[in-house]
Amino acid sequence: MKRKGGAGRHGALAPVVAEKEVVERTRNIEKLFVHADTLRCAERNRCRVCLYKIVLYGRAGLLPMVRPELCPRIAAQAKATSAEEDEAEVGASSGESSTARIGLYDAKQVKRILTVGDGNFSYSLALANAFRGLAGDVSAEEKVELVATSHESKATILETYPDGERILNELNAMLSFVQVHHEIDATNKEQMQALGKFDRVIWNFPCVRAPRGEDGQNQEMEINKKLLADFFALVGESLTPTGEIHVTHKTKPPYGQWGIEAIAENSKLRYVRAVVFDRCMYPGYSNKKVLSKGSFPIWDSQTFVFVPAAREVAPEAETEPEDSLLVPVTLDMLKKMYLLLSPTIQDALDASVKSKKRKLSHKPKQLVGVPADHAAAANAVDIASGKDDAAHANGKHKHGRKSGKGGPATTEKHKRPPQPPGKFGHQKKLKLRRK
């Protein structure tokens, strides 16, 4: 804190003013990209959810974050009709295999995908639905094979997740290109090798189970870091020559303190880039805590991309990925996002209207079935609420006049009852009489 003060124009001391030092955090944008769809939603819809996904850190005076469900794209997905879904399926199965993609995964670039520790399998189901159209009468080169795994047993999944049975049934109905395996330990070399080679190995929100559902907190940090280190140490052997490892995790403390990039580099992996994670890109995905049906906020997450350090990669490949739907995050982009988060006059008017509606909704409702004797009813309410005592303290009462020279102010009903003889009343009077 700095303090300023000194002599004024006429020699008097000027008032001392304390300056508040405000440190505004800006996210690390090195090798960071964002989906073009996420950026478009932020700019065109002024979607606060997508805006905060990009800027990550808020600042004083900005519009607050809102529930992720308020993103217009999630609302559009929820309102999608079955006719639209059928039309999409017909289009995918009618030879439009070159356009099949979801999020970071394009059928033209990946042929085998492995998902690790996928909780209730909703993420794997999102991928399977995206590539389902390629399972028809197409060549083997055009198909995308998905291997979905969980660390837990099937019985545990069915017991833990209410939607577990439905999701597994849907995945098992696509056995032509989907494999489902349970009790797979991603840190077990033999189990991982038995699954084969993959173009993409995906692990979303790796974490050990913690009591009371507080996964990933500081007290479990070292255990979680070891979990990642064991995974990184052997996952490189599960990759094809062009394969990548995708680990998605939260970035704000305490999760950002794990140092995922450093852990991977110690396991002979190279950090290529990161992509702002957008759940809207994976329709139907619902992230879950470890062995819990509860969810957790993931708007601050990003996907870390790693490759084996020994692989030769051109420098421009890291700064300019093949995916044309990824946009590099720049300082100018962050400035624009913060500007869109700044309140406007219309925002102030909308907030005022919401505040008035909130106050009106909190007003007490008219009581139904009020007794005929309104005075008695009002008196009963006053007594119950303590107003009757306040009236006595002020020398007033609803059924009497103000106390004073005119005589008693209260009726017989409200006269003070006789007090029993006590140590400081009756005994004192006796002593005075004896004297």
Helix (H) or strand (E) holding 248: strand 239-250
Statement: residue 9 has pLDDT above 50: no
Residue 51 and residue 39: Cα distance in Å, rounded? 8
Lowest mean pLDDT among 10-24, 134-148, 316-330, 421-435: 10-24
Q: What mean pLDDT is reported for the chain?
A: 80
Residue 48 and residue 62: Cα distance in Å, rounded? 10
pLDDT in tens, 398-411: 444 444 455 555 55
Residue 226 in any domain: the answer is yes
pLDDT of residue 252: 86
Question: What mean pLDDT comes out for the span 298-319?
Answer: 84
Residue 406 in any domain: the answer is no
Residue 61 in any domain: the answer is no
Angle at Cα 314 formed by Cα 310 and Cα 317, nearest 5°? Answer: 110
Question: What mean pLDDT comes out for the span 92-103?
Answer: 57
pLDDT of residue 227: 94
Residue 67 in any domain: the answer is no
Task: Using pLDDT thresholds of 50, 70 and 90, give the confidence band for residue 346.
Answer: confident
Statement: residue 4 has pLDDT above 60: no
pLDDT of residue 426: 64
Residue 270 in any domain: the answer is yes
Question: What mean pLDDT comes out for the span 182-200?
Answer: 97
Residue 409 in any domain: the answer is no
Task: Using DSSP bridges, classify how beta strands 326-328 and 32-35 pair: parallel, antiparallel or unpaired.
Answer: antiparallel
Most confident range, picked from 215-219, 344-348, 388-392: 344-348
Question: What mean pLDDT comes out for the span 335-358?
Answer: 86
Residue 227 in any domain: the answer is yes
What range does the domain containing 200 cover? 99-311
pLDDT of residue 303: 98
Domain holding 226: CATH number? Answer: 3.40.50.150
Lowest mean pLDDT among 88-102, 311-325, 341-355: 88-102
Total count of domains within the chain: 1
Q: Find the Cα–Cα–Cα–Cα dihedral 271, 272, 274, 280, rounded to 10°.
A: -120
pLDDT in tens, 136-147: 656 666 789 999
**Rg of the chain in Å (alpha carbons):** 34
pLDDT of residue 347: 80
Statement: residue 2 has pLDDT above 60: no
With beta carbons less than 8 A apart as the criterion, state whether 118 and 290 touch: no
Residue 53, judged by CB atoms within 10 A of its CB (0-12, 13-18, 19+), counts as buried
Residue 405 in any domain: the answer is no
